Amino acid sequence: MNQPNKSFPVSWDQFHRDSRALAWRLTGEGPFHAIVAIARGGLVPATIIARELNIRMIESVSVKSYDHQTQGEVQVLKAINPDLIAADASGRKLLIIDDLVDTGATARAVRNMLPNAHFATVYAKPQGRDTVDSFITEVSQDTWIYFPWDLDFTYAPPITGGTD
């Protein structure tokens, strides 16, 4: 797997705006019975979307994607409540939320658990884009997204290397 050579730092303000934009996009898809947030990255947008769409039932699923040497393998650390799996099977409309779909490995694993749910992410990369139903912003596969919870205040050099 190639290392990302572009970076896309996302501020708290931008992430909040993008999550709200996703909520607007989802208004025509609901109403939803519940949200299933993919922990950890999906927890923040799920909270924003739950508020905007007035969804009170929020569940999480915790999965760990392995490193580039075993790309695509996913370990479930916390499964989805069986009642919500049954609700999905019976036709209740569920919403899966994550911050980003990259290669689609995590998305495919969670979609297998809830095959009828609507899957939405804030950001999508080309390799995983077909695994989600809705997203707001597409970024290139070779871009590394720095989410606000990954950042600290620090000097950022100019893109072209100049120093002013």
Annotate 88-100 with DSSP letters as a single string.
HHTT--EEEEEEE
- N- to C-terminal Cα separation, the chain: 35
Active-site annotation holder among 18, 83, 88, 99: 99
Q: What are phi and psi of 8, to 5 degrees?
A: -135, 90
Task: Put residue 104 in one of left, alpha, beta given phi > 0 → left and psi -120 to 50 → alpha.
Answer: left
The Cα–Cα gap between 35 and 51 comes to 11
Active-site annotation holder among 18, 98, 130, 133: 98
Q: Is 102 a catalytic residue?
A: yes
CA 97 vs. chain centroid, Å, equals 5
Q: For residue 13, what are the CA distances in angstroms to 9, 16, 125, 135? A: 12, 5, 21, 18
Q: What are phi and psi of 109, to 5 degrees?
A: -65, -45
Active-site annotation holder among 102, 150, 152, 164: 102
Question: What residues act catalytically?
Answer: 98-99, 102
